[in-house]
């Protein structure tokens, strides 16, 4: 039987929001034309810690067009209790409250908002606000802050934090080990730097209601947050984030521009827009700086006998941001003895935050460099080394995986890359004046699932709308929703409209952690299955009951707008006929997908993870140490792939950011002034076109009906994990120079003799 053409799960459907994006019609937070709009520009604090002594805003107020200079002295009422300022992803501590009082907690903190009739007037006047401070001693230097490092007591830890679970005796095994590697590994502070700057347009309707167009990764998160912070009723706050110009974690939590814009709107009873400048984008979320002491012991064969890790990451003085750093290595490798420790170190900056694959991107990258060192120590091929220490189970918690096709990823990746041709010795491959190096590293991330609701609405003409308050930050959620709906109901994608990014829609969590596709997809599927049930029932009313014999929708194929009896494909009813026969003008249902609803999810505890094998070729000038990443193969085991086209893009993006992590990205802080200094795109380098050559993505077959309802594991993070380490390891192979501190800038390579 020829399978009828059907767009479904696994089809490389082009992005359904593509036309809007390539024509400039897609509207982002700062782009909604709102009548009578005011523009707010924030004034950042000059100092890193202290108090505002006085504010002279006379000159700013004199500027024609300026409506208000809002400070802690004249801002509208806001909640006093920290509890009211919590958002879905709040972390233990005191959430930052802009213009709350005279305290300055970090350099760049917004201490005033100039609001004017034009952006230009506000920008000009913001430069005229004069503020005097009582300066207090600060510390922003990570190394200095290590003196204050601590593990927060239970109750003050992030609920996402997993304490490392020791096994065996790592110290004794290390002492006894034939081969040893030990060192301090570092990652510099990075900033997310999504292309769209954080922006909010708050539309004041005049009837107590506001609509907030916000750059955030979850509309309902902002909604709940603003309602709590400004004592508003949730129903009076609608938040729209239909298009989000990248996030990578910086928009997981509502940022200060939405506080300021909302405050300004309440104070002035007018619509207000606040957009961060690129410089100000450096005064909030960032990936924490990390120091990670690693000790590995192994036998001569390369079999690991001891893993020891002790990591510290940076946070602020007002919130305890925590990541899982040391656990990844302990989970990934078969090794009888393992021990890990973790602390955080406070400094006078904004709180560090989740950035693409938080914890794993850092911890796995640094650990995989150490693993590479041990492979050389053992004189075992680095890929073979990883096979020797392969763990079929999640090694830290000693539980099975729902699936783990990492071995296949290693094999398929190696084959595509041509790993077998590799010459083992460092500095042994050369072309012209460039040393060529090949490196490999492993990636690992969580496959997560989060309670999500979706609505499906089928009209009598056969048009379907699916909706959920989920977000699409470039991840392809619109397309995934469309595809899952098309798959379930057999409709052509052009009959389907996917709606998201609106707090009025069915409940969905913040988009992040790679759970959106699995969760929103499952919710849409449930809703569409409910529609299918109703259609099936209605089909009973169709003359001659063509589907007679079918017991449930599982006996039917939904294809080309028809229900087709699986056992006899000549028997079919179109969806529109069924609705007409059933007397239905519209079918509308809302369903919620949640862990526990499916037996697969509620099964006995298993580890749920994505894995990857990343292979990298670098070319390094033998004298000048200029590094070029010329080839990457990233083989990913991530369960079922809904859309190979957009899925590939997710991995490409992760790889590019991983190359940035390996070679470019580093935010410099001036310890004396307490300020981030390279706060712009010219001096904070993200990879440019010229830095990115050939990237190949492989999705290895990994059927996993257990992990989530659709068998989807998620792809937003896994692409970056492992990439930076593979680059670092390739650089070692090329040059014989082992750099344990990311990014590997030219100065670090020049310092080391080959």
Stretch 469-528 residues interacting with other proteins (CB under 8 A): 473-476
Binding track, positions 89-128, relative to other proteins; x by CB under 8 A: ------------------x----------xxx--xxx-xx
DSSP of 326-337, one letter per residue?
THHHHHHB--S-
**E strands, 28-91, in order:** 38-44, 50-56, 66-70
707-746 residues in contact with other proteins (CB under 8 A) are 745-746
Q: How many CB atoms lie within 10 A of CB 120?
A: 13
Q: How many CA atoms lie within 13 A of 135 on its CB side?
A: 13
Report which secondary-structure segment, H or E, holds 739: none
Q: Select 259 or 667, whichever has its Cβ closest to other proteins.
A: 667
Q: Does the footprint of other proteins cover residue 626 (CB under 8 A)?
A: yes
691 near other proteins, rule: CB under 8 A? yes
Binding mask 65-94 for other proteins (x = CB under 8 A): x-----------------------------
Classified as helix, coil or strand, 81 is coil
Phi/psi region, residue 482 (left: phi>0; alpha: psi -120 to 50; beta: rest), is alpha
Task: Candidates 190-198, 255-263, 318-326, 726-734: pick the segment binding other proteins (CB under 8 A).
Answer: 190-198
Environment class of 361 (CB within 10 Å of its CB; exposed 0-12, middle 13-18, buried 19+): buried
Cβ neighbourhood burial of 165 (10 Å; 0-12, 13-18, 19+): middle
Number of residues that bind other proteins (CB under 8 A): 106
Task: Please indicate whether residue 717 is annotated as part of the active site.
Answer: yes
> With binding defined as CB under 8 A, does residue 600 bind other proteins?
no
Task: Give the nearer residue to other proteins in terms of CB position, either 57 or 706.
Answer: 57
Contact call for residues 754 and 735 (beta carbons, < 8 A) = yes
Position 418 contacts other proteins (CB under 8 A): no
Chosen residue from 40, 110, 228, 245 binding other proteins by CB under 8 A: 245
Q: Looking at 648, 713, 733, 737, which residue binds other proteins (CB under 8 A)?
A: 648
Closer CB to other proteins, residue 426 or residue 743? 743
Give the C-alpha separation, 702 to 444, whole Å.
15
> From the list 327, 352, 650, 741, which residue makes contact with other proteins (rule: CB under 8 A)?
650
595 near other proteins, rule: CB under 8 A: no
Q: Which of 114, 274, 119 is nearest to 197 (CA)?
A: 274
Q: What is the footprint of other proteins within residues 281-340 (CB under 8 A)?
A: none
Q: Which of 692, 705, 736, 740 binds other proteins (CB under 8 A)?
A: 692
Any alpha helices (H) in 358-489, and if so which ranges?
Answer: 360-377, 382-388, 406-417, 477-489
Per rule CB under 8 A, is residue 31 in the interface with other proteins? yes
Please, which residue, 335 or 661, has the CB nearer to other proteins? 661
Q: Applying CB under 8 A, which of residues 111, 170, 197, 725 lies at the interface with other proteins?
A: 197
CA dihedral 697, 356, 296, 308 (to 10 degrees): -150
What is the per-residue binding string for other proteins in 365-404, x denoting contact by CB under 8 A? ----------------------------------------
How far apart CA 370 and CA 365 sit, in angstroms, is 9
Query: Min. distance of Cβ 747 from other proteins in angstroms?
Result: 4
In degrees and rounded to multiples of 5, residue 626 shows phi and psi of -70, 130
Beta-bridge mates of residue 135 = 50
141 contributes a contact to other proteins by CB under 8 A: no
Query: DSSP letter at 167?
Result: B
Q: Which CB atom, from 62 or from 603, has the smaller least distance to other proteins?
A: 62
Q: Is residue 17 part of the contact set for other proteins (CB under 8 A)?
A: yes
Print the binding letters for residues 200-239 with other proteins: x by CB under 8 A, - otherwise. ----------------------------------------
609-621 and 586-593: which strand pairing? unpaired
Task: By CB under 8 A, name the one of 363, 654, 709, 722 that touches other proteins.
Answer: 654
User: Is 193 near other proteins (CB under 8 A)?
Assistant: yes
Check residue 597 for interaction with other proteins (CB under 8 A). Answer: no
Cα-Cα-Cα-Cα dihedral sign, residues 317, 671, 138, 46? negative
Q: In which region does residue 491 sit, left (phi positive, over 0), alpha (psi from -120 to 50) or beta (all else)?
A: beta
Task: Please list the active-site residues.
Answer: 717
């Amino acid at each position: 039987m020829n399978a009828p053409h059907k767009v479904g799960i696994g089809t490389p459907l082009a992005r359904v929001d593509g036309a809007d994006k390539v024509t400039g019609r897609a509207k982002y937070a700062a782009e909604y034309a709102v009548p009578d709009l005011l523009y707010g520009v924030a004034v950042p604090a000059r100092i890193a810690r202290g108090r505002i002594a006085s504010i002279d805003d006379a000159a700013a107020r004199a500027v024609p067009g300026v409506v208000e200079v809002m400070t802690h002295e004249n801002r509208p009422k806001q909640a006093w209790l920290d509890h009211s300022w919590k958002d879905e992803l709040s972390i233990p501590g005191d959430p930052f409250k802009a213009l709350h009082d005279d305290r300055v907690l970090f350099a760049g903190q917004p201490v005033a908002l100039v609001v004017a009739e034009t952006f230009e007037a506000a920008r000009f006047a913001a430069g005229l606000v004069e503020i005097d401070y009582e300066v207090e001693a600060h510390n922003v230097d990570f190394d200095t802050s290590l003196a204050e490092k601590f593990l927060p007591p239970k109750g003050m830890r992030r609920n996402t934090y997993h304490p490392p679970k020791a096994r065996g005796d790592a110290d004794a095994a290390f002492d006894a080990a034939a081969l040893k590697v030990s060192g301090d590994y570092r990652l510099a502070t990075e900033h997310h730097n999504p292309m769209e700057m954080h922006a909010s347009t708050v539309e004041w309707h005049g009837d107590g209601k506001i609509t907030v167009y916000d750059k955030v990764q979850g509309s309902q998160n902002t909604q709940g947050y603003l309602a709590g912070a400004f004592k508003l009723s949730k129903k009076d706050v609608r938040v729209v984030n239909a298009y989000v110009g990248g996030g990578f974690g910086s928009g997981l939590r509502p940022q200060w521009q939405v506080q300021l814009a909302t405050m300004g709107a309440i104070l002035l009873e007018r619509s207000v827009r606040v957009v961060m400048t690129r410089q100000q984008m450096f005064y909030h979320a960032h990936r924490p700086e990390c120091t990670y002491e690693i000790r590995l012991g192994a036998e001569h064969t390369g079999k690991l006998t001891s893993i020891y890790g002790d990591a510290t990451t940076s946070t602020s003085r007002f919130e305890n941001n925590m990541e899982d750093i040391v656990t990844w290595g302990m989970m990934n490798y078969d090794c009888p003895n393992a021990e890990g420790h973790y602390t955080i170190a406070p400094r006078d900056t904004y709180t560090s935050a989740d950035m693409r694959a938080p914890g794993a991107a850092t911890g796995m990258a640094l650990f995989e460099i150490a693993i590479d060192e041990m492979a050389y120590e053992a004189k075992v091929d680095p890929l073979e080394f990883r096979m020797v220490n392969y763990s079929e189970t999640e090694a830290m918690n000693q539980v099975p995986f729902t699936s783990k096709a990492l071995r296949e990823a290693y094999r398929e990746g190696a084959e595509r890359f041509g790993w077998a041709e590799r010459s083992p010795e460092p500095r042994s491959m050369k072309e012209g004046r460039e040393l060529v190096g090949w490196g490999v590293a492993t990636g690992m991330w969580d496959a997560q699932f989060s309670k999500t609701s979706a609505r499906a609405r089928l009209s009598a003409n056969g048009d379907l709308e699916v909706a959920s308050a989920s977000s699409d930050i470039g991840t392809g959620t619109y397309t995934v929703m469309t595809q899952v709906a098309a798959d379930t109901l057999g409709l052509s994608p052009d009959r389907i409209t996917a709606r998201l990014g609106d707090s009025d829609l069915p409940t969905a969590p913040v988009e992040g952690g790679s759970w959106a596709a699995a969760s929103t997809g499952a919710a849409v599927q449930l809703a569409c299955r409910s529609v299918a049930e109703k259609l099936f029932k209605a089909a009973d009313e169709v003359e001659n009951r063509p589907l007679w014999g079918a017991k449930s929708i599982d006996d039917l194929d939904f294809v080309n707008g028809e229900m087709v009896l699986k056992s006899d494909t000549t028997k079919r009813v179109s969806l529109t006929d069924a609705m007409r026969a059933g007397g239905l003008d519209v079918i509308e249902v809302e369903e919620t997908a949640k862990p526990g609803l499916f037996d697969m999810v509620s099964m006995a505890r298993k580890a749920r993870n994505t894995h990857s094998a990343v292979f990298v070729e670098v070319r390094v000038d033998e004298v000048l140490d200029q590094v070029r990443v010329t080839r990457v193969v990233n083989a990913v085991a991530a369960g079922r792939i809904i859309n190979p086209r957009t899925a590939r893009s997710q991995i490409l993006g992760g790889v590019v950011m991983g190359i940035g992590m390996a070679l470019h990205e580093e935010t410099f802080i001036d310890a004396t002034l307490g300020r981030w200094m390279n706060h712009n795109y010219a001096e904070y380098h993200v990879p440019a076109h010229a830095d990115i050559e050939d990237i190949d993505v492989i999705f290895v077959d990994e059927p996993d009906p257990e992990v989530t309802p659709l068998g989807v594991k998620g792809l937003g993070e896994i692409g970056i994990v492992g990439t930076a380490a593979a680059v670092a390891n390739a650089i070692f192979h090329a040059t014989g120079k082992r750099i344990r501190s990311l990014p590997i800038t030219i100065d670090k390579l020049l310092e080391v003799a080959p």
